[in-house]
Amino acid sequence: MTDISRRQVTLDEVAERAGVSRSAASRVINNAPHVSKAKREAVQRAVVDLGYVPNATARALATQQAGAVVLAISSDNPQVFADPFFAEVVVGVNSVLEETELELMLLLATSTRGQTRLEQLLRTRQADGVMMMSTHGDTLAELADKADVPVVFGGRPVNFEPRFYVDADNRGGARLATEHLVDKGRTRIATITGRMDEGAGTARFKGYQEALAVAGLDAGRVAHGDFSEDGGSRAMAELLSEHPDLDAVFIASDQMAIGALRVLTDAGRSVPGDVAIVGFNDIPSARHTAPPLTTVNQPIQALGREMARMLQSLMSGETPSPLILPTRLIQRAST
């Protein structure tokens, strides 16, 4: 205490004494809302014990809030926000944020330029928090790990287990879909996967494999898609060429299922007579395909709402638990 009393105590020393991060100590000292009661009390004790006096200039800077949060989506397609799935997520996020003073910024973060922009936003604190969706590879995960603002993931990356995330039960939903096809008496069941560098794609593929393993059926009829309608068309054409005997397909997204249905119709295959189809997501257009699509419902707007709520909790200094949303099978005329 003698050495410290001879000079001005630093914020780092307060944080160390309190056992919290420097940013948490700063938020307490500047009376910001983004810190838990326990951390606030620990910092306040450290301030008294050490005789810390805040620097007025630093305090003015630290109390500035951006008043905005970012929804960053990793996608190669600039039209991604028009995708029915992501459009529903945005609706869910916005339904929560419209009750606050926070603005929502949308950012495509796949390109080098997009990643640089996101890194700049995080580094300069132009946003108070970030929600990350559909992450490919490790780049966005690394950015999140270095961020000095709260970060919530929508879904889980393949090679990274985030601390805070909201996800759907993709694996369980895929099992339900495939088991439904087995129950319908189908024995030559193929799949069109989503992107295999995304958590949803790999989880849904595993669910398909597990269901067929339990049923004692071959899980080798596989074509890889990319969650897009065109990707579903290409993958369905590939399956018909390589496995013309198939009698059912579990397709990892409704968008791909729409493309697959078109290819089956053009090939003269009736649905569900010749080939039964199950999709995933239950987007609004799944009800209006010909025939209407049996699919796995995941609560897409709820995914967006819970991401925004979890981010708000983090920004308030709470420590929420990860959340897995349930999925359920919606039976329509394609099976």
* φ, ψ for residue 61, nearest 5 deg: -70, -40
Residue whose C-alpha is closest to residue 28's, from 39, 12, 16: 39
Which CATH fold topology does 170-297 show?
Rossmann fold (3.40.50)
Same CATH fold, 170-297 and 68-168+300-325? Answer: yes
Number of other CB atoms surrounding residue 266 within 10 Å: 12
Instruction: Report residues of the chain scoring pLDDT below 70.
Output: 1-7, 23, 27, 30-35, 54-66, 75-81, 110-111, 135-142, 144-146
Cα dihedral: 212, 213, 215, 217 (round 10): 70
Angle between helix axes 22-29 and 37-50 (nearest 10 degrees) is 80
Residues in the chain: 335
Amino acid at 245: D
Q: Quick one: CA dihedral 66, 72, 78, 81, positive or negative? A: negative
Contact indicator for 283, 85 with CB cutoff of 8 Å: yes
The residue with tokens 């074509």 is 223
* pLDDT recorded at residue 157: 82
231: left (phi over 0), alpha (psi -120 to 50) or beta: alpha
In the sheet with 294-297, reading across from the earlier edge strand, the strands are 222-224, 189-193, 248-251, 276-281, 294-297, 328-330
Q: Pick the closest to residue 230 from 257, 208, 265 (CA basis).
A: 257
Q: What is the CATH number of domain 2-62?
A: 1.10.260.40
Query: Per-domain residue ranges for the chain?
Result: 2-62, 68-168+300-325, 170-297
Please tell me the predicted confidence (pLDDT) of residue 285: 93
The pLDDT of residue 57: 43
pTM of the model: 0.78
Q: Encode burial over 309-326: b for 16+ CB neighbours within 10 A, e otherwise.
A: bbbbbbbebeebeebeee
Q: State the DSSP code for 19.
A: T
CATH architecture, range 68-168+300-325: 3-Layer(aba) Sandwich (3.40)
pLDDT of residue 298: 95
Contact between 194 and 228 under an 8 Å Cβ cutoff? The reply is no
Integer Cα distance of 74 and 72 in angstroms: 7
Element (H, E) at 70: strand 68-73
